[in-house]
Amino acid sequence: MLSCATGHDALALCQRFWHFYGMGLTLDISTTADGVCILEFQTQPALVPATHRHVVLEAVIAGFVRGITGLQRIAPEHFTIWFDLEQPAYAEQVRQRLGDVHWGMPTNCIRLPAHLLDKPLPQASPLALQDAVSQCEQAERLLGKRTDDIAERVRESRPEMPLRLALIGPVMPMFEPKAAGSPSAMTKWSMCTPVSCSTVWMVRLGPP
């Protein structure tokens, strides 16, 4: 995505290959008639237990906001963030870090002016992008276009195995936050999936 020409291209590429690394979450990207880009997220109950739903949504949405901010140099005041969760006790601390955040909304999404994503990215590289896309397409050919049916295949092959462990393996903290429960704490998690092994940084907006 870093090699894409614009933020729009980067998000389109992210959505195209979301099934590789977004297990447990759906991602829908659209633009309204009045020019608002909306990134909408929903958890899949079979993969994300209700007790962890707020942690997953907060981490992913905060990560997307930080990623877009860094990639496109968009100021935080241009973002509006919705959660369909109850407002937490640490809401004000979240707003201090992410800006215009609302809870109790109809969905979970990031909203920002679409035209801000049109600006050319300074690190754009057509050759690097072509190489990266080719590798992803090769992975699709080897692994299958879609990974959405993995949960069903796990149920059929290993019905005695807890689904979450079969899908993502144990999620283990590599190190603890400096201040446990701190809204600004950052925790590094190692996550293994049937597709790949990757390291995921989760921004902890508040206590689990």
Grouping H, G, I as helix, E, B as strand and the rest as coil, residue 32 is coil
pTM > 0.85? no
Strand 36-43 and strand 25-31: the pairing is antiparallel
Give the pLDDT mean for 68-77: 88
The answer to whether 114 and 35 are in contact (CB under 8 A) is yes
Q: How far apart are CA 82 and CA 66, in angstroms?
A: 15
The pLDDT confidence band at residue 145, using thresholds 50, 70 and 90, is low
Cα separations (Å) of 44 from 52, 115, 119, 196, 204? 12, 31, 33, 20, 20
Give the pLDDT mean for 96-110: 95
Grouping H, G, I as helix, E, B as strand and the rest as coil, residue 123 is coil
The helix or strand, by DSSP H or E, that contains position 31, with its residue range, turns out to be strand 25-31
Residues with Cβ < 8 Å from 82, sequence gap 6 or more?
102, 105, 106, 107, 108, 109, 111
Q: How many residues are given for the chain?
A: 208
Is the model's pLDDT at 84 over the cut of 50?
A: yes
Give the pLDDT mean for 12-32: 90
